[in-house]
Structure 1
Amino acid sequence: MLFRQLFDPESSTYTYLLADEATGEAVIIDPVLEQAERDLALIEALGLKLVYVIDTHVHADHITASDLLRKRTGCTTILSEKAGVECADRPVKDGDRIRFGSQELEVLETPGHTSGCLSFVTGDRAMAFTGDALLIGGTGRTDFQQGDAHQLYRSITEKLFRLPESTVVYPGHDYKGRTASTIGDEKRLNPRLGQGKTEEDFVEIMANLGLPYPKKIDAALPANLRCGSAQAPSMEHVDS
């Protein structure tokens, strides 16, 4: 499988391009609007056909390029059926499979950062794209967008931590220049929930993070409820 990890320095967002080398069918995970031309140029240079654009959740820190990529390539947009949006072409749920060529991604519902968070695991369990649920040495925050620390703890420990320890974790963000981890490393070393920390331990840690208000949320959230479209905002589902 062809794989590229791309980075947006302003929001510290990772975007992932995966493709079946035999057919050229490709998916892109968490594309950033300001990086859309870069991503389109790479897809063209590699001779790929973009069939799916996936958002792991409704982002609050950047505007997704999903709608733009759909208009430019004719690809299908994917979000959780629990994300509270109407713009996705294909709402997905736990256990669904996203197939491109001979490759596939399995959908894991991993809510807690938001109510509609998803992770995606390759068919061979070698790679997991965890969005903002599980980060390298951290997790997504749980203090807005229906965040729930209890739910996030269970999502990680009951789903992601049950993957093979060798599974490589590719998160939605990293703020320290790290590119990947493994399930085994996070189970042992993650300071928020590794080394056997209980759900109560995790909830207390999350309640005392004191994180600042996301600087782009007021623009990003309404736009992402429309898959990044520039049309007039509808705020019906801003609590999703």
Structure 2
Amino acid sequence: MIFRQLFETDTSTYTYLLGCERTRRAVLIDPVDTQVGKYEDLLRQLDLRLVYTLETHVHADHVTAAGLLRERLQSRSVVHRDAGARCADLLVTDGVPLQVGDLEFEVRHTPGHTAGCVSYVMSDRVFTGDALFIAGCGRTDFQQGDAGLLYDSIHRRLFTLPPDTLVFPGHDYHGNTVSTIGREMARNPRVGGGRSQEEFIALMSELELDYPKDIDRALPANQACGLRPAAGGAPRVRCP
């Protein structure tokens, strides 16, 4: 497997490139629109063909590159059906398998940060988006956020994975790159160490976080796969 962890500094967003060495087919998880040129260069350098962009959710802090990459490289966008992005080529649900050459992913619905959050599970790793961070988790005070639901998603859908499963989050603000399920279960200060659901809900309600500075731009753009809505307000959709 070809694997690259890419970092967008303005929003501290991780994007992941995974490629099949046999077929040269590849996916990008949570691509950012300002990085499209870098993705294209990297794909050429590695002799890979992008077939899917996988979104962990509809983001509020950056604009996805899914629509631009679809136009330029004919990739197909993947989003959960509850995310509110009907522009996607594939609207997936919990348990859906995705295969790209020899790469196998399971879509695991992990709502709570938003209603349409998913994690992408592989045999040895999981891409958790904004559900579970390294020593943290996503906020729950907007976009259908629900602290109790996020707690359940993490404990029932992620902490049930093998403890040595690698955790690759959607963001990190402290220079961390990877953790494990076992480490987060034991040490995560928000959801680990035996913290109860009631304690977690109280903690999240007391955070008093600032209004997301880019949500008014990013949210409608991401509901249109990162492209401007066409005349009449409908997003542009390419038929696969």
TM-score (norm: length of structure 2): 0.95
**Structure 1: runs of 5+ lacking an equivalent:** none
Q: For 2:165 and 2:31, locate their aligned partners in 1 and report how far apart those are by CA, in whole Å.
A: 23
Is 2:72 the counterpart of 1:72?
yes
Q: For 1:148 and 1:158, locate their aligned partners in 2 and report how far apart those are by CA, in whole Å.
A: 15
Give the structure 2 partner of residue 149 of structure 1.
Answer: 147
Offset, 1:195: 0.9
Q: Is the Cα contact below 8 Å between 1:222 and 1:235 reproduced in 2?
A: no
- List per-residue Cα deviations over 1:124-181 (Å, max 9, x = no partner): 2x11000000000000000000000000000000010000100010000000011011
TM-score (norm: length of structure 1): 0.95
- List per-residue Cα deviations over 1:163-213 (Å, max 9, x = no partner): 010001000000001101100000000001111111001000100111111
Offset, 1:83: 0.9
Give the structure 1 partner of residue 17 of structure 2.
Answer: 17
Q: For 2:7 and 2:154, locate their aligned partners in 1 and report how far apart those are by CA, in whole Å.
A: 24
Give the structure 2 partner of residue 136 of structure 1.
Answer: 134
Q: For 2:184 and 2:64, locate their aligned partners in 1 and report how far apart those are by CA, in whole Å.
A: 27
Q: Is the Cα contact below 8 Å between 1:128 and 1:170 reproduced in 2?
A: yes
Identity of aligned residues (%): 53
**Structure 2: runs of 5+ lacking an equivalent:** 236-240
Q: For 1:24 and 1:195, locate their aligned partners in 2 and report how far apart those are by CA, in whole Å.
A: 41
Amino acid of the structure 1 residue aligned with 2:177 = T
Q: For 1:227 and 1:5, locate their aligned partners in 2 and report how far apart those are by CA, in whole Å.
A: 22
Offset, 1:231: 2.9
Give the structure 1 partner of residue 105 of structure 2.
Answer: 105
The one of 158, 163, 166 aligned to 2:164: 166
Q: For 1:10 and 1:234, locate their aligned partners in 2 and report how far apart those are by CA, in whole Å.
A: 29
Q: For 1:29 and 1:36, locate their aligned partners in 2 and report how far apart those are by CA, in whole Å.
A: 13
Q: For 1:134 and 1:25, locate their aligned partners in 2 and report how far apart those are by CA, in whole Å.
A: 28
Give the structure 1 partner of residue 121 of structure 2.
Answer: 121
Amino acid of the structure 2 residue aligned with 1:93 = T
Q: For 2:191 and 2:83, locate their aligned partners in 1 and report how far apart those are by CA, in whole Å.
A: 25
Q: For 2:88 and 2:200, locate their aligned partners in 1 and report how far apart those are by CA, in whole Å.
A: 32
Amino acid of the structure 2 residue aligned with 1:25 = R
Q: For 2:176 and 2:103, locate their aligned partners in 1 and report how far apart those are by CA, in whole Å.
A: 26
Offset, 1:40: 1.1
Offset, 1:38: 0.4
Return structure 1 stretches of 4+ with deviation > 2 angstroms.
Answer: 230-236
Q: How does 1:24-43 map to 2 (within 5 A)?
A: 24-43=24-43
Amino acid of the structure 2 residue aligned with 1:71 = E
Q: Is the Cα contact below 8 Å between 1:111 and 1:117 reproduced in 2?
A: yes
Q: Which moved more, 1:81-90 or 1:106-115?
A: 81-90
Give the structure 1 partner of residue 177 of structure 2.
Answer: 179
Question: Secondary structure in 2 aligned to 1:159?
Answer: helix
Give the structure 2 partner of residue 51 of structure 1.
Answer: 51
Give the structure 1 partner of residue 203 of structure 2.
Answer: 205
Give the structure 2 partner of residue 214 of structure 1.
Answer: 212
Offset, 1:84: 1.8
Question: Secondary structure in 2 aligned to 1:43?
Answer: helix
Q: Is the Cα contact below 8 Å between 1:222 and 1:234 reproduced in 2?
A: no
Q: For 1:57 and 1:206, locate their aligned partners in 2 and report how far apart those are by CA, in whole Å.
A: 20
